[in-house]
Structure 1
Amino acid sequence: MTSLKDNSRAGRAPDARIKPVTDLAARLSRELEGEVLFDDASRGRYSTDASIYQVTPVGVAIPRHQQDLALALEIARDAGVPVLARGAGTSQCGQTVGEALVIDSTRWLDEIVEFDPEARTVVVEPGVVLDHLNAWLKPHGLWYPVDVSTSAQCTIGGMAGNNSCGSRSIRYGNMVHNVLGVDALLAGGSEGHFGFVDQLPASGRVRELAERVKAIAEGVAPEIREHFPKVLRRVGGYNLDLFDCQNPKPYDPDARVNLAHLLVGSEGTLAVSRRITLRLSPLPEHKVLGVVNFPTFYQAMDLTQHIVTLDPSAVELVDRTMIDLSLENPAFRPVIEKALTGRPEAVLLVEFAGEEREAQLASLERLHELMADLGLPESVVAMPAPAEQQALWNVRKAGLNIMMSMKGDGKPVSFIEDCAVPLEHLAEYTDRLTDVFHRHGTEGTWYAHASVGTLHVRPILDMRRDGAEKMREIAEQASALVREYKGAYSGEHGDGLCRGEWVAWQFGPSLNDAFKEVKRLFDPENLLNPGKIVDTPRMDDERYFRFSKGYRRIPLTPVFDWSGWNLTRDPLTGEQGEPGSAGDPTHGLAMAVEMCNNNGHCRKFDAGTMCPSYRITRDEQHLTRGRANTLRLVLSGQLGDEGLASDDVKEALDLCVSCKGCKRDCPTGVDMAKFKIEARTARVKARGLSWRDRMVGEMPRYAPWASRFSSLLGAVERVPFLSRRVKATLGLAAQRDFPRFCDNFLAESQGEVVQAPREVLLFVDTFNNYLEGENARAAKRVLEAAGYRVHLNVRQGERPLCCGRTYLSSGQFDKARLEARRTLDHLMPHVRRGVAVVGLEPSCLLTMRDEFLQYGFGKEAEALSGAAFLFEEFLVRAHVSGELPLDLKPVDHPRAMLHGHCHQKAFDAVRPVEQVLSWIPGLEVETIASSCCGMAGSFGYEAEHYDASMQMAELSLLPAIREAAEDAVLVADGTSCRHQIRDGSGREALHVARLLERALA
């Protein structure tokens, strides 16, 4: 536990009224059953959200249950410390950062409390994630339709606090239209149910609040009618218009006054939610999607007003910048390519949904006809199939993160992001706002909700240089346009630190005073998320910026070449330039870390590999975002001067299994596995190597000796006392067996060359040479059966080649680079002749496609990267080119259960395994939807990580294997994966090469 420091980068000095933080931390720790975090690193991780701001909290409390939540508020109130209720921390305007005790509801306050399918209502705790709720509701034919792009990680509490909207608000409305009630804690300690006013008790605190708020609203009724924007998307200020039944809003089908709607959109400044009652909607039976391609952005905006007359459920924009960035992302490229005709400057995703499929197909046909009538025939790409629709919606949902994947200091900045204007003015508004950007030497990125006139636009600014000045000027000019078109300055993402000062501008002095009166009524001591909505700071107060002119990066010399992250991007042309003034390659590492925009995509649980350690801990520290924040704070000197060798970095990366899930699943490309190599190397240089690190790293060197004395290792394993003693000495888990070394396949196979017209080099790694030689034998036989002359990666009298992966994982970078250089020198003559290099172990072969490129080996590494293929990738490639005359017969198994290695998933290399398995006659293939198996090289062997390793395996992999039929064959290409499957289930898994060998006719 630490006290607050006056650190201008980590936030302003604490308010003088706050009692010593150590007293607060001590009492919270003593009385709460949940977790209490007051160390500098934890506070730093909670100092940011998805906005441009950074404010260090007083501390963090993570309540285990409702009693903890109430107790945390009580203790903070006694100490005079403000409270900030926080969900996933995905806010884009700074609502969820502040000098307060942060209360994180996401780990434990996530129960579905009540459900009434007949009434179509559900009661949830604030930490329930939207996608989890909808998955729970799906069997009942219902869903909660406020489908925001962060649905995989955002919480219902955060959505209510922000009055979130979503892609389909044109049909279902905003959060405020779908909340029926809120059970809340008030600043003074009382609690109550906020719901329909005509159902409130005749007396009590909530009734009193209702009457007094009504009086405030009636006092400014003319101003409400005059100044509240007449657009669906407006979330600024407090919803005082809920009492204006002469001018009813669609808050409720009966236009009844619901006091809960005052709390919706209040950003936690009026009360803290305990439970939220939601109105549900029937799931539409059928959906179809039409992707309209436009030659100009203006046309897309201008014609939206015609498209909405077809009654779509959504009309979403994707602009050229987002298209180009999606095409650069390997996960999104094949999806976005299917949606394009030619090279459009913008596309609109037009969805129709309803009970009858034929009706939706008819609507899709009317869209074709409409676009032809409007002069754009053949512009619509029809997507009637659910799978392709979902894939494209996933790209759209990742829009923010895709936009933030630009390299360099210039980034799309959120501050006028969700201004909303009437549809008839949308084209002119966007055109004039684009002119504003150009006058300031920049460009904006556009996407999102064309259907309701809310376009997320972010001008590209460098906040470390002149970004703050340009932000102010652009905001003032944009606000003038919004007023001219009678729109809403805050249309979806709330006020927060970014737009709080514009509340008075939007609503006028009388309404602003009314908002202040409401705040004082609910929170007289100003203890609930102060500085939001009323009495807010300026949007460009640099004391709150995450990056500002005073931001610095500590000097360091990374081991990898990170110069590619120094590339500048011209905001107007989008062209990448040479390394910019941020400059020399040493800064590239910091810039790569800063690619994390805090949007929290890594908190998802629905699919993909990211992030297995967070999935088992629910701890921000063990999340890709949390780790990136830790590294950023360290590299900018905000967590001491030890740099990457610090304990804070070691603890944050402790459960990182280097799965590379973030490399693929994170739309901004945060590669935590590579950052961990940098950190491990720095730690080893500062603290030295442990015996276990040496044992892991040097495995390729001692493997020949271990294979000769494998019987001795087996004897040690058979003596329990001796085995436990040896493992304890080395820091290995007693539950794991020692590796089972075998004969040296490469030594045995030298000289065994089958002549054939085509050549291939089989790269047999340490694991498949000394631990599972049968995989290499099988692969060699299959390649020879396919008509290839197979070269091996060894010369007479030389030690076999090695990719250096074990050295990288143990922090011995220099040795890894030497191994890589030796391997490159040996392989290049083959590569120059056009011979493919084929590997069996994903983590080894893919090291050549990834880490080798950042060793500084230049074009040779690029050539090897292009020639290196996993075994099944090579077979698919040969099959496509007609050079794979394999004759396969059925095997003794009717089905195969496939588990993909994490690195295969990261490089989209699981599909080739599925393809080659599909060649085996009669074999039904099922791919297990799994994250990391948990073994992850030496991670699962380490005593302190054994439990975490098994918890990762139990997320989905081991349960799926236990449910698999006995006659199913298990397939896993990773050595670690096969070992984990054997340890966790008692069943053996095969490398795909062995199954293909069995199928050879």
Structure 2
Amino acid sequence: MSSRVPGESLDRLVTALRAGTDAEVRFDTGSRGAYSTDGSNYRQVPLGVVVPRTVEAGAHAVELCARFDVPVLSRGGGTSLAGQTTNEAVVIDWSKHCNALVSVDPEARTCVVEPGIVLDELNRRLADHKLKFGPKPSTHSHCALGGMIGNNSCGASAQAYGKTVDNVRRLEVMTYDGLRMWVGPTSKAERARIAAEGGRRAELYDGLDRLVAEYLGDIRRGFPKMPRRVSGYNLDSLLPENGFDVARALVGSEGTLVTVLRAELELVPVPSYESLLVLGYDDICQAADHVPQILEHCSPGQLEALDGRMAQLMREEHAYLESLRVLPEADSWLLVQFTGDSQEEVDAQAHALLKSIGRSEKDSSVAFSDDPQREQRMLKAREAGLGVTARPPDDRETWEGWEDSAVPPERLGDYLRDLKGLFEEFGYDHPSLYGHFGQGCVHTRIPFGLKTADGVADFRRFLERAADLVASYGGSLSGEHGDGQARGELLTRMFGERLVGAFGELKALFDPGNRMNPGKVVDPQPVDGQLRLGAAWRPDTHDTHFGYPQDDHSFTQAVLRCVGIGNCRSLEGDVMCPSYRATREEEHSTRGRSRLLFEMLDGHADSAVKDGWRSTEVRDALDLCLACKGCKSDCPTGVDMATYKAEFLAHHYEGRPRPPAHYSMGWLPLWARLAEHAPTLANSALHAPLLGRAGKALAGVAGERRPPVFAERSFVRWWRALGTEQPDPADPATVVLWPDTFSNHFHPSVAMSAVRVLEDAGFRVAVPETPVCCGLTWISTGQLAVAKKVLRRTLRTLAPYLEAGTPVIGMEPSCTAVFRSDAPELLPDDQDVQRLAGQTRTFAEQLVHHAPAGWQPPFLARQATVQTHCHQHAIMKFDADRELMRRAHLDADVLDEGCCGLAGNFGFERGHHDVSMAVGELGVLPAVRGAAPDSLVLADGFSCRTQIEQGGTGRRALHLAEALAMALDGPVPSDRPERLARRPAEPSGTARWATTAAAGTLAAAAAFGAVRQLRRP
């Protein structure tokens, strides 16, 4: 039955949904584009998106879709790799609102959940009970339980706890025709009672009875006896010996049979102790050969593998290097985890295994750890596989399609050799092989040619050959990710025509009209159909401002970096993606924006975005991007949405008026230089009740924001007044202190303090005395032509220092990041830009790595709560700062709470205030409120300091340079932390710079907030 829906039916459905459900109903182009694909090779633009606020609203939405004969697709995290969460249907996204932990029974070790709850969030809520849900896919930070049930997810911990199907007790489900029921194991007596009641439920159970009776022998013979059989419907769960378990029969059905409304799950105790043994091998096939021997001697909690190719990619991408450093000498590795009730028990298990296989902990090919943090570093290398292998540095694109086949573990080594032979036959060079080897599941990404007809034809032929290969080993097409469209057409090669016919009968029983996620598993679309790329893909070409050197100088290639992994949907840790964390909206995740940019490329006839750079849908999706650059470091494939946003804005507003904020905050360096001539007058005007409100309205600034305060005297003016002779650029002790707009005009005490500390360390400080700027505010607002002019002017001023190789020290992380990252991409052919990128250092980098031998930072001996600026996290990293604080005896609690939410101009722009504050309240602001009263609060970023001050924390943050400068004058008092906020208006001399720093920073903190608004975090 076709999934096509007449326009009039769809219009009536939309009206009914909006009138009759408590749901967000979105049939706009932007929403449809954001949901057009998942983590797979496939793409189908949905009819619309429904985001129910309650489970009941979601159920009613399904009823209305049935009334108008419209297909339905349930979706959670949307990370599926087989195409099962993309369809021409109404997508019901359960993840935003329907994410409750309904109940917990600690004694029975069960809980009831709604389908949208994320696995990590569920386990956090269960932590007090010392329980957890056992299966743990690598997407645990953002995968929804409904999706895990739909896909029968597994992960590394399935070695100990089994697949999702093994951990589901009951399901509340709804059929397309409106039947709602709880299902689970069903005795003969219970089935007789159901039959006596009659109705649709009796019809279903009678049909299931008949199906099992007819195919009993086929099911028993045709389902592989192996731990990782995920392909096909779970007809084996309906066997008498398995309790006729209807719930488990529906697990893994990928939304093609029923809608899951709630689930009762079985829980397991959180292990008290763990240890990890890593065994090295010459190659991955040899490692696989050794798996059966290991399993003979122990029952590990995890038995994972990664190969030398993945390690090579990590080194080339400079990713997970800390993980690699703790691995033993080898080219491939098995990671064997043990769990138990005592440290002695888990250690003994590891040593017993070593003894049984004839190895020693002292061997160079062995690493043992019972340190949880070290274990996590080791396991992170394996968990990172998909992201690391998706975009290799050698410019080859790799794709899923055969990413999770599984065979019996005892046959794994031979299967891998044959699979590598198939790679060689098709010319697919060097795919990495890794995975859950203890259960025979193999992950890989292959360089399929999905942009040409020949490449697509080879893709299809390879899948057919690979399916026959895995079937010959008694294996499963899917050992983890399900069938969807990627493997649905191949199921007959594994199960045979008769069992696949039984799958069709099961589908017809539950969904006779084929309206539940049609074209997946049963009567599937072809494996080479509806490709996200494909031979017919013809994207527009674009002249761009940025050079995209890592993407073959192509904006299109840059957009293709997003492969749908979905880490941007995580809810805590790192930075990415603050707007998603605040809104829980797919469209406001890095992935959702990437999807819309992909649609904007107009490569398909049915592209959701038709007006290119002028698209309002793309503009609206990018509007809540904080340009924090968190995705550049936290996205496994290095998506840089801040750059894409700047590029888009440059084209979108080319030749037409811009929003007022682009003129007010985008041109902030100019307004700050003008205000320098009369700072008191400027501050009075900005803070006058009537004039200030009118000015904010005219400037496009949020009325809730307090304007920043211009300093009475800028840093550069103060520097000139000192009359210090500029040092020789060729002097090895010379450093250039960069007078960024924020440290110059709003918080001059930051730069003054830096001068003091740098000179104490033996450096001779030079300061450009003519106006210079990095162009940050123009970049963040997409005024890239102006930004290039500003950068070129700056390069001319810095020319003597660049020629001499003089270090340039940045105090404001966002400006420093421009020199290290944005400027080389904007002016990729300018050698001075390349020199500047190489010579730019952070304050901490200069002092930690380049200070004269014997210099020690001043002794602070204080506690500090430290917020890392997003751009520093993404570009410069924070290692040097941690080391500098350690040397200064600063007991630093470096927050892992994400973005502060102000993010330069973002939090100051009209319409962004609520999201800005919501982001801050997700972590940074509560953490600062909870900091000890006598601790320092440090934040090198002006936006961070401003948000902390304006976020109701009652605290004011200092730059690390200010804290160190104050310590030069003696111990920093801890009894009255507010003393740190006092800043004298004028420095009285070099000996009093520390006090000056304290004074200027606080006055500048308010001012810097407004400035920071135009700056991205």
For normalisation by structure 1, the TM-score amounts to 0.92
What residue identity is the alignment partner of 2:599? L
- Give CA deviations for 1:789-823 in whole Å, capped at 9, x if unaligned: 111133xxx32x21110111222212211222232
Contact 1:52 1:414 in 2 (8 A): yes
How far has the Cα of 1:375 moved from its partner?
14
Aligned match of 2:378: 392
Shift of the 589–989 alpha-carbon distance from structure 1 to 2, 3 Å rule, reads same
SS of the residue corresponding to residue 62 of structure 1 reads strand
Q: Does residue 974 of structure 2 align to residue 992 of structure 1? A: no
How far has the Cα of 1:677 moved from its partner?
1.0
Aligned match of 1:580: none
Q: Does residue 123 of structure 2 align to residue 134 of structure 1? A: yes
SS of the residue corresponding to residue 502 of structure 2 reads helix
What residue identity is the alignment partner of 2:835? A
Shift of the 212–850 alpha-carbon distance from structure 1 to 2, 3 Å rule, reads same
Match of 1:900 among 863, 868, 872: 868
Q: Tell me how far apart the structure 2 counterparts of residues 81 and 90 of structure 1 sit (CA, whole Å).
A: 24
SS of the residue corresponding to residue 651 of structure 1 reads helix
Q: Tell me how far apart the structure 2 counterparts of residues 225 and 14 of structure 1 sit (CA, whole Å).
A: 34
SS of the residue corresponding to residue 234 of structure 1 reads coil
Aligned match of 2:614: 645
Q: Does residue 23 of structure 2 align to residue 34 of structure 1? A: yes
Contact 1:783 1:790 in 2 (8 A): yes
How do residues 903-942 of structure 1 correspond to structure 2 at under 5 angstroms? 903-907=871-875, 909-921=877-889, 923-942=890-909
How far has the Cα of 1:415 moved from its partner?
2.2
Q: Does residue 712 of structure 2 align to residue 748 of structure 1? A: no
SS of the residue corresponding to residue 623 of structure 2 reads coil
Q: Tell me how far apart the structure 1 counterparts of residues 366 and 451 of structure 2 sit (CA, whole Å).
A: 42
- Give CA deviations for 1:617-653 in whole Å, capped at 9, x if unaligned: 1111100000000111102352455322321121010
Aligned match of 1:422: 408
How do residues 844-863 of structure 1 correspond to structure 2 at under 5 angstroms? 844-854=815-825, 855-863=827-835
Match of 2:96 among 107, 120, 140: 107
How far has the Cα of 1:961 moved from its partner?
1.4
How far has the Cα of 1:859 moved from its partner?
4.0
Match of 1:738 among 707, 719, 730: 707
Contact 1:442 1:459 in 2 (8 A): yes
Q: Tell me how far apart the structure 1 counterparts of residues 362 and 370 of structure 2 sit (CA, whole Å).
A: 20
Match of 1:403 among 384, 389, 398: 389
Q: Tell me how far apart the structure 1 counterparts of residues 408 and 337 of structure 2 sit (CA, whole Å).
A: 20
Contact 1:331 1:665 in 2 (8 A): no
Shift of the 992–25 alpha-carbon distance from structure 1 to 2, 3 Å rule, reads same
What residue identity is the alignment partner of 1:703? A
Q: Does residue 887 of structure 2 align to residue 878 of structure 1? A: no
Aligned match of 2:975: none
Q: Tell me how far apart the structure 2 counterparts of residues 72 and 243 of structure 1 sit (CA, whole Å).
A: 30
Aligned match of 1:979: 946
Q: Tell me how far apart the structure 1 counterparts of residues 39 and 533 of structure 2 sit (CA, whole Å).
A: 13
Aligned match of 2:105: 116
Shift of the 377–135 alpha-carbon distance from structure 1 to 2, 3 Å rule, reads same
* Larger displacement relative to structure 2 (148-157 or 390-399): 390-399
Q: Tell me how far apart the structure 2 counterparts of residues 218 and 30 of structure 1 sit (CA, whole Å).
A: 45
Contact 2:398 2:447 in 1 (8 A): yes
How do residues 315-334 of structure 1 correspond to structure 2 at under 5 angstroms? 315-334=303-322
How do residues 765-804 of structure 1 correspond to structure 2 at under 5 angstroms? 765-794=740-769, 798-799=770-771, 801-804=772-775
How far has the Cα of 1:725 moved from its partner?
1.5
Q: Does residue 932 of structure 2 align to residue 965 of structure 1? A: yes
Calculate percent identity across the aligned residue pairs: 37
SS of the residue corresponding to residue 653 of structure 1 reads helix
Shift of the 97–639 alpha-carbon distance from structure 1 to 2, 3 Å rule, reads closer
Contact 1:325 1:405 in 2 (8 A): no
* Larger displacement relative to structure 2 (947-956 or 344-353): 344-353
Contact 1:661 1:906 in 2 (8 A): yes
How far has the Cα of 1:13 moved from its partner?
9.2
How far has the Cα of 1:402 moved from its partner?
1.5
How far has the Cα of 1:908 moved from its partner?
5.2
How do residues 117-266 of structure 1 correspond to structure 2 at under 5 angstroms? 117-198=106-187, 200=190, 202-203=193-194, 204=197, 205-206=200-201, 208-245=203-240, 248=241, 255-266=242-253
Q: Tell me how far apart the structure 1 counterparts of residues 609 and 231 of structure 2 sit (CA, whole Å).
A: 39
Q: Tell me how far apart the structure 1 counterparts of residues 284 and 563 of structure 2 sit (CA, whole Å).
A: 26
Q: What runs of 5+ residues in structure 1 fail to find an aligned partner?
A: 1-11, 249-254, 567-584
SS of the residue corresponding to residue 276 of structure 1 reads strand
Q: Tell me how far apart the structure 1 counterparts of residues 160 and 666 of structure 2 sit (CA, whole Å).
A: 58
Q: Tell me how far apart the structure 1 counterparts of residues 689 and 7 of structure 2 sit (CA, whole Å).
A: 57
For normalisation by structure 2, the TM-score amounts to 0.90
Q: What runs of 5+ residues in structure 2 fail to find an aligned partner?
A: 971-1017
* Larger displacement relative to structure 2 (213-222 or 404-413): 404-413
Q: Tell me how far apart the structure 1 counterparts of residues 732 and 413 of structure 2 sit (CA, whole Å).
A: 62
Q: Tell me how far apart the structure 2 counterparts of residues 718 and 766 of structure 1 sit (CA, whole Å).
A: 20
How far has the Cα of 1:686 moved from its partner?
4.0
Match of 1:304 among 278, 287, 291: 291
Shift of the 514–374 alpha-carbon distance from structure 1 to 2, 3 Å rule, reads farther
Q: Does residue 556 of structure 2 align to residue 590 of structure 1? A: yes
Q: Does residue 776 of structure 2 align to residue 805 of structure 1? A: yes
Shift of the 771–18 alpha-carbon distance from structure 1 to 2, 3 Å rule, reads closer
How far has the Cα of 1:783 moved from its partner?
0.5
How far has the Cα of 1:410 moved from its partner?
4.4
Contact 2:753 2:961 in 1 (8 A): yes
Q: Does residue 801 of structure 2 align to residue 824 of structure 1? A: no
Contact 1:753 1:789 in 2 (8 A): no
Q: Does residue 804 of structure 2 align to residue 833 of structure 1? A: yes
Shift of the 715–701 alpha-carbon distance from structure 1 to 2, 3 Å rule, reads closer
SS of the residue corresponding to residue 427 of structure 1 reads helix
Q: Tell me how far apart the structure 2 counterparts of residues 908 and 696 of structure 1 sit (CA, whole Å).
A: 25
SS of the residue corresponding to residue 487 of structure 2 reads helix
Aligned match of 1:569: none
Contact 1:769 1:776 in 2 (8 A): yes
Contact 1:236 1:495 in 2 (8 A): yes
Aligned match of 1:6: none
How far has the Cα of 1:414 moved from its partner?
2.1
How far has the Cα of 1:17 moved from its partner?
6.5
Match of 1:59 among 35, 40, 48: 48
SS of the residue corresponding to residue 230 of structure 2 reads coil
Aligned length: 949
How do residues 435-834 of structure 1 correspond to structure 2 at under 5 angstroms? 435-443=421-429, 444-465=431-452, 466-541=454-529, 544-566=530-552, 585=553, 588-636=554-602, 638-742=607-711, 743-750=713-720, 751-753=723-725, 758-794=733-769, 798-799=770-771, 801-834=772-805
Shift of the 200–832 alpha-carbon distance from structure 1 to 2, 3 Å rule, reads farther
Aligned match of 1:867: 839
SS of the residue corresponding to residue 625 of structure 2 reads coil
SS of the residue corresponding to residue 444 of structure 2 reads strand
- Give CA deviations for 1:77-99 in whole Å, capped at 9, x if unaligned: 01111111111111111111112
Deviating beyond 6 angstroms after TM superposition, the runs of 4 or more aligned structure 1 residues are 754-757
Contact 1:635 1:644 in 2 (8 A): no
Shift of the 889–508 alpha-carbon distance from structure 1 to 2, 3 Å rule, reads closer
Shift of the 807–375 alpha-carbon distance from structure 1 to 2, 3 Å rule, reads closer
SS of the residue corresponding to residue 291 of structure 2 reads helix
